Structure 1
Amino acid sequence: MQRYLFKKYPLNQRQSCYLLSKHTSTDNEIPQRSYFKSSAALISILTQEGSNFEMTLFEASQTLDCSNKPNGYALVHLIRRCSSLVQYSYGQQLHCYILRSGFCSNVFVSTAIINFYLKFELLNEAHQVFDEMPQPIVVSWNSLISGYVRSGQFRKALAVFLQLDRSEVCADSFSFTAALAACGQLSLLQLGKSVHSKIVRCGVECSIVVANCLIDMYGKCGSVGEAVQVFNEMIDKDIISWNSVIAASARNRRLEQAASFLHQMPNPDTISYNELINGIAHFGYIKDAIRILFNMPNPNSSSWNSIITGYVNRDEAREALGFFCKMHSEGVEINQFTLSSLLSGIAVLSALTWGMLIHCHTIKCGLDKSVVVGSALIDMYCKCGQVKNAELMFQSLPRRNLVTWNAMISGYAHNGNSTKVVELFEQLKLVKDMEPDGITFLNVLLACWHNRMPVETAIQYFGSMMADYGIDPTAEHCSCLIRHMGRKGEVWRAEKMIYELGFGSCGLVWRALLGACATCRNLEVAEVAALKLIELEGDNDYVYVMMSNIYACYGKWGDASAARELMRERRGLSILFQDNSSNMRLESLRLPQYPDLFHLCFGDG
């Protein structure tokens, strides 16, 4: 870090001239030298609202070259000012001065530098400054952990937290809240419980902020019972506490419980209602969600977006489009999340015309360069078969996040362009402060399968995912690799991998193995996979169809006939209802019925 900065920004007498040139064009315009008399005077000027930052920095640069140099506190204020006013080049020059002058041993100065780099999302630089600190304090640790959480790098955040836990520095409430946020995002329940135990041992469980984060973590990990228990044990509750327990209940299909909490809440706000609407719509109770939306106080864009997302999740994209039109006619603000959800629904329909109309609307609203909308447009164009349009959108975005890269990689994979998948994946690996995730690797494995690449190539990617990036394989990763192995006839190897990775009780991977056995006509492993599927899922038409075909390939017509006979015995059932006009109509299975959620929220009034 030190050598890099010295080479790029040599800070000596020339630095003052550089800063000076920002304000003067001729020698006659050089201001009179008026160095700050003390660090306290410099801090006073920096903290004044409306102060001329560049002129103040010029003055400060003069003091760097005189005997009355600023102390650590003054440098901390200077760095913070660079962060708040997004003055990256000034901040790097200050970092150079700090390295030369020996202030890097000051933990407050180094922590300010870490926060400065995190402000510009330069996590590698921030981590390097942290690593060079001789004895970081808890604030330094918290800055780095929170920086990783804000950037979505939750595993790295937890790695730093665990490093803190092993150090001699005691974690505080800020450390725990950041760690809980990462556990919640990754659904790491056991690690979250371990953090909870540590919180109790440290005696900070009474903090409202910590308790709120515990409720949120348990809710996101699907442990709503623990979330409610933490809520009930809280002595003081704020509005975030109530909203968190409503969200935890609604997220885990405890809709009646969520509505009850909302009804008990002293002064519910818009977020309170939105959390309930989001849960109700997500699980398919759209009519109830709409009824609450139209009766709640002060609905906002998020309230309407939840309904659109609910329709999209139910593959009812036409209804989502209709509700979007109503939202537009009501004059509700349409934001990037509205358009992103709507584009997801259009992508499912492959409704290119509608997609292009929405694209025009994003340009009109000035949201076409948004990374959220841009990623959704890329996904929509790819699913509509317009990969060239997706490429143009990808190239035009001024900023791309991992979702953007995954959308483009996925588009190439599903449109059969495996060469482009691998090419883009290799480009992603070179992007600073960004790493591929499980979705990225799943698309790469799909590309390997579609393009009939060697099995060893797919296995190398699979191994790299675990070894180089610390990503735990999912059933989808494993199933994709099994299909690839099946095409090459290596089903024995696939069966062994299932047990080694701990997927022996997952029906999805055994289903993939049975399909792979049908591809390479391996009866022995197919029978193992079929028995496991019946054991895990009970009688299954898929098993009987596949086994019948495999037996037929081996000429075992008796076994093939027996498998088909078993399937005939398990006839499907349709539910017929007769209405008042005596016309018969077919009804699909209904969703579980809940009491009237509207009355649970609003009462009888």
Structure 2
Amino acid sequence: MQRTLFRALENHFQNYNLFLLSPSSTSKTPISFTRRNHTHDTGVEFSGVRETIRWETNPDGFTLVQMIRNCINHRYVSHGKQLHCYALQSGFASNVYVNTALVSFYAKVVSLDDAHKLFDEMSQPNVVSWNSIISGYVHSGNLYKALSLFLELNQSDLLPDAYSFTSALAACGQLSLLLLGMSIHSRIILYGLESSVVVANCLIDMYGKCSSDDGAIHVFNELKYKDVISWNTVIAACARNRRLELASDYFYQMPYPDTVTYNEMINGISQFGDIDEAIKILKSMPNPNSSSWNAIISGYVVKNRAWEALNFFTQMKARSVVMDEFTYSSILSGIACISALRWGTLLHCCVIKQGLVTSMMIGSALVDMYSKCGQVKDAEMLFQFMPRKNIVTWNALISGLANNGESHKVVQYFEELKDAKGLKPDDITFVNVLAACSQCQMPLERAYEYLISMNDDYGIKPKPNHLASIIRLMGHHGQLCKAESMIYELGFGSCPSVWRALLGACGACGDLDVAKVAAAKLRRLEDNEVGYVILSNINKDRGNWVDATAVWDLMRDEGVVKEAGFSRI
């Protein structure tokens, strides 16, 4: 049972002798639990804990629960594990309240794997036990596992409570699972919990994140008692789904808007509306914070107005507004888009000066910026010195290497990523890897292996940009007929981008027969000149000037006009 989980730990405390290590010291403070027939005269103190807990008699289940919660609050791993050991040896192995507190401790402080093992060993977990493990998976980002456990709870003899539903709704919102969220909503109504303001707020948030602003508005309007969070959540749902007028209506109806309210409006308007209007709201705010300014900078970057973002950034610095990780990562993204290397290096200095250089978010943005500015060696060196990396960091480097023609290094780092603990490639990683395969004209078998691994090993379904890279590589190897068949096999027959890739591959190897098929398909799917121009160029390259002229005549007959070419230089 539970003893199997921490048998090794328990062996250290056979005689109830616990040694609690103070977080501020390496010295050991012995605390002995002396066995007696019926009573214990025990004094217990957690050295270094802000709220010291003592007892003079044998601690009961309630006291143990309080001490375990104290370990959670202060994140004391050693103390919590020792309390778990004491609970096992003192006969609390079957106490559902102590076990539930321990599940919460392991989920929040140690590891979810240990929490789940402990949960599985509970003979009769209550709904609070289920909530602890479900919320643990939600907070760790393992949302599908959280929803799987929630469904198990619904199939058990226990009834989920409001906390159970809020955790499930949070997972649905982050995964954009609208149908499942609606199903949970119906269950909430069945249990009579729809009037709970906390549950209703989570429903509004779920509908907003699932792009169902009408659902969010309906729940908000049906809610009898609304708090500040209710108003902020519905405003966010409208603003993030481009319903800016409706968001503005709620904003002016709200009794007492707070900083979050203003920030949601600024963020929505700067992303999807007129940034000048967002700046007006910023100036009218009673207490703007860094998030308020960050929303404007992010809006400029999203709208490809990087120089204006830089200008706004200098204003922010001149007014001594506190700059955080999001500030620097946003402005670095804008700098990367315009390849402003001098600005990028200056901001890198600012980041070092503020002590934010170890931030994963900023580190990833710096790797991306140096890569897009053509400084691949600097990006690679920065990547190597980063203490912590996530998949965004790896993708920034791999993408930079791919875009700068370092195809062999892309494959090298991809193989390292596969061995990285706690990380796995995503669809963006494979886009760059397959593009690198195409650039260096790698053997087709190797590229096929990556494509199959993407689906079989990582559960990532191929997308048009994955297939486009494979098609270009197949063109280099003269296998365009097989590429055409693959388009239909993978279900991309109505996707213009893959036919465009096939037509481009035909142009590279001069395959006129497949080019005619691809051009005809592209003409039906897109009303532009791309298919005509490539087909005409293939005919000219093969010396078929009559057919090339016929393509241009067909363009004139169908009213298709070729856009004028331009240079980026």
Greater RCO, CA 8 A, separation 6+:
1
Counterpart of 2:337? 348
* Paired amino acid for 2:560: R
Q: Counterpart of 2:401? A: 412
Match of 2:100 among 111, 126, 138: 111
- C-alpha deviation, 1:105, in angstroms: 4.9
Q: How big is the shift at 1:517? A: 3.8
1:352 is aligned with what amino acid?
L
- After TM superposition, give the deviation of residue 503 of structure 1 in Å: 3.8
- Kindly tell me: are residues 263 and 473 of structure 1, through their superposed partners in 2, closer, same or farther at Cα, counting changes over 3 Å? farther
Matched with 2:532 is 544
Paired amino acid for 1:404: T
Match of 2:118 among 107, 129, 133: 129
1:570 maps to 2:568 = no
In structure 2, C-alpha distance between the alignment counterparts of 1:26 and 1:467, rounded to whole Å: 51
State the number of aligned residues. Answer: 560
User: Relative to 1, partners in 2 of residues 1:495 and 1:344: Cα closer, same or farther, differing over 3 Å?
Assistant: same
Task: Name the CA distance, whole Å, in 2 between partners of 1:254 and 1:24.
Answer: 56
- Please report how far the alpha carbon of residue 13 of structure 1 lies from its aligned counterpart in structure 2 after TM superposition: 4.2
Per the alignment, in what secondary structure is the counterpart of residue 459 of structure 2?
Answer: coil
Q: Please give the alpha-carbon distance, in whole angstroms, between the structure 2 residues aligned to 1:39 and 1:422.
A: 64
1:317 maps to which of 302, 306, 309: 306
1:247 aligns with 2:236: yes
Which whole-Å CA distance do the structure 1 matches of 2:76 and 2:549 have between them?
Answer: 76
Matched ranges for 1:369-380 at <5 A: 369-380=358-369
Q: What is the alpha-carbon distance in structure 2 between the residues aligned to residue 38 and residue 257 of structure 1?
A: 67
CA distance in 2, matches of 1:524, 1:168: 65
Q: Where in structure 2 are the equivalents of 1:385-396 lying within 5 Å?
A: 385-396=374-385
1:477 to 466, 469, 489: 466
Q: Percent identity?
A: 54
Compare 372-381 and 89-98 and name the one that shifted more.
89-98
For residue 307 of structure 1, report the CA deviation from its aligned partner.
1.0
Q: How does 1:215-294 map to 2 (within 5 A)?
A: 215-283=204-272, 285-294=274-283
Contact 2:528–2:560 (CA under 8 A) maintained in structure 1: no
In 2, distance between residues paired with 1:26 and 1:324?
49
Structure-1 separation of matches of 2:525 and 2:43: 71
With the length of structure 1 as denominator, give the TM-score of the two structures.
0.80
Deviates more, 1:509-518 or 1:314-323: 509-518
Give the drift of 1:297.
Answer: 2.5
Query: Residue 529 and residue 320 in structure 1: after superposition, are their counterparts in 2 closer, same or farther (change >3 A)?
Result: same
The answer to whether the 8 A contact 2:536-2:551 is kept is yes
- Report what 2:567 is aligned to: none
What amino acid does structure 2 have at the position aligned with 1:515?
G
- Structure 1 residue 278 displacement after superposition: 1.1
The separation in 1 between residues aligned to 2:291 and 2:224, in whole angstroms, is 31
Q: Which amino acid aligns with 2:549?
A: S
| CA contact 2:19–2:30 (8 Å) conserved in 1 | no
Report matched runs for 1:379-528 at 5 Å. Answer: 379-528=368-517
Deviation of 1:112 after TM superposition, in Å, equals 2.9
Residue 139 (1) aligns with residue 140 (2): no
Look up the SS of the partner of 1:381 in the other structure.
Answer: helix
CA RMSD of aligned residues (A): 3.9
Q: Distance in 2 between matches of 1:180 and 1:31?
A: 44
What's the secondary structure of 1:369's corresponding residue?
coil
Cα shift readout 1:207-255 (whole Å, capped 9, x = no counterpart): 2222222222222222222222222222222222222222222222222
Match of 2:187 among 185, 191, 198: 198
- C-alpha distance in structure 1 between counterparts of 2:319 and 2:487, whole Å: 53
Once residues 318 and 26 of structure 1 are traced to their aligned partners in structure 2, the CA distance between those partners, rounded to angstroms, is 56
1:559-595 CA distance string (max 9 Å, x none): 4333334545433799xxxxxxxxxxxxxxxxxxxxx
Residue number in structure 2 paired with 1:600? none
Q: What are structure 2's unaligned runs of at least 5 residues?
A: 565-569
> Is the partner of 1:510 in helix, strand or coil?
helix
SS at match of 2:17: helix
Cα 1:165/1:22, change in 2 over 3 Å: closer
User: Which amino acid in 1 is paired with 2:295?
Assistant: S
Q: Give the secondary structure class of the aligned counterpart of 2:12.
A: coil
Q: Deviations over 1:54-82 (max 9, x none)?
A: xx6xx89xx9xxxx5x5544443333332
How far apart in 2 are the matches of 1:24 and 1:354? 45
TM-score (norm 2): 0.84
CA contact (8 A) 1:9 1:92 kept: no
Cα distance in 2 for residues equivalent to 1:73 and 1:384:
60
**Structure 1 residues 401 and 470 mapped into 2: Cα distance closer, same or farther (>3 Å)?**
same
Change (3 A) 1:191 1:572: farther
Q: CA deviation at 1:298?
A: 1.9
Indicate whether 1:77 and 2:76 are aligned: no
Contact 2:431 2:465 in 1 (8 A): yes
Shift of 1:275: 1.2
Which consecutive unaligned segments of at least 5 residues does structure 1 have? 575-605
Q: Are the equivalent residues in 1 in contact too, given 2:169–2:202 (CA < 8 A)?
A: yes
Aligned pair 1:334/2:323, yes or no? yes
Alignment partners' CA distance in 2, 1:543 and 1:498: 17
